[in-house]
Chain A
Amino acid sequence: AQSVAQPEDQVNVAEGNPLTVKCTYSVSGNPYLFWYVQYPNRGLQFLLKYITGDNLVKGSYGFEAEFNKSQTSFHLKKPSALVSDSALYFCAVRSRGGGNKLTFGTGTQLKVEL
């Protein structure tokens, strides 16, 4: 079975500071990994994904994430947070080995304050 853990329900950061939203996963074999963002009363929007190749993935709005196979992590990062980054962030995983389901984490609420 595949699973995703987002250990923090909420992350608070001051505008201009770097931010990290944590994600660890468990799958059989190698994973496909995704980050999605949900703004209030909206659907999820794709941010970035890791498929293969370079472990550092760059995505929309200045976000990036680093795939770390030994730590089974895929933390989301941004060098300088904006108030407009405040939203709910979901990590998701799917095993390459088969099965059709994308499994989402429980979400992390990011709050960026002035």
Chain B
Amino acid sequence: DTAVSQTPKYLVTQMGNDKSIKCEQNLGHDTMYWYKQDSKKFLKIMFSYNNKELIINETVPNRFSPKSPDKAHLNLHINSLELGDSAVYFCASSPGPPGQETQYFGPGTRLLVL
């Protein structure tokens, strides 16, 4: 009965590889997010989709491409991985666009680029 789930939980890969992280929510929410948490625990929004439409697109390298096949899923594909991409990536969802809505977070995907 996990509300927001992410796969994989851990991802270790070489520089230059392409990888994807998947996120699914079973809360019936309209909005989903990707956040990046760096080694200093600083949390930064990357993307957000509302009803499969991109509503937030922060200054993120275009090697990062989100895809939302439906409201319950938001995947993150990363091309040509770099050492600096090593971080924890969190998916989140909320009933509607950010406002007074509470966001519900997944457990995170720990990405290590070697």
- Residues from chain B with a CB closer than 8 A to the CB of A49 are 100, 102
Mostly, the A contact residues are strand
Classify chain A: how many residues form its interface, as a range: 20 to 34
B4 touches A43 (CB 8 A): yes
- Residues from chain A with a CB closer than 8 A to the CB of B56 are 100-101
Contact with A along B91-107 (1 / 0, CB 8 A): 01000011110111111
B41 touches A45 (CB 8 A): no
- Residue from A46, A88, A107 within 8 A of B103 (CB atoms): A46
B42 touches A32 (CB 8 A): no
Residue total for B at the interface (Cβ-Cβ under 8 A)? 24
**Shortest beta-carbon distance, A20 to chain B, in Å?**
20
Contact with B along A10-44 (1 / 0, CB 8 A): 00000000000000000000001010101001111
- Residues from chain B with a CB closer than 8 A to the CB of A100 are 48, 55-56, 97-98
B66 close to A (CB within 8 Å): no
A94 to B99, CA, bound (A): 7
Number of A-B contacts (CB under 8 A): 55
A101 touches B45 (CB 8 A): yes
Mostly, the B contact residues are loop
- Residues from chain B with a CB closer than 8 A to the CB of A32 are 99-100
A107 touches B43 (CB 8 A): yes
Interface residues of A (CB under 8 A from B): 32, 34, 36, 38, 41-46, 49, 51, 88, 90, 94, 96, 100-104, 106-107
10 chain-A/chain-B pairs, Cβ below 8 angstroms: A41-B108, A43-B105, A44-B105, A49-B102, A94-B99, A100-B98, A101-B45, A101-B98, A104-B43, A104-B44
Interface residues of B (CB under 8 A from A): 4, 40-45, 48, 55-56, 58, 90, 92, 97-100, 102-108
| Given pairs A42-B108, A44-B90, A103-B45, 16 additional interface contacts (CB within 8 A) | A38-B41, A41-B108, A43-B92, A43-B106, A43-B107, A44-B43, A45-B105, A46-B102, A46-B103, A49-B102, A90-B43, A94-B99, A100-B48, A100-B98, A101-B48, A107-B43
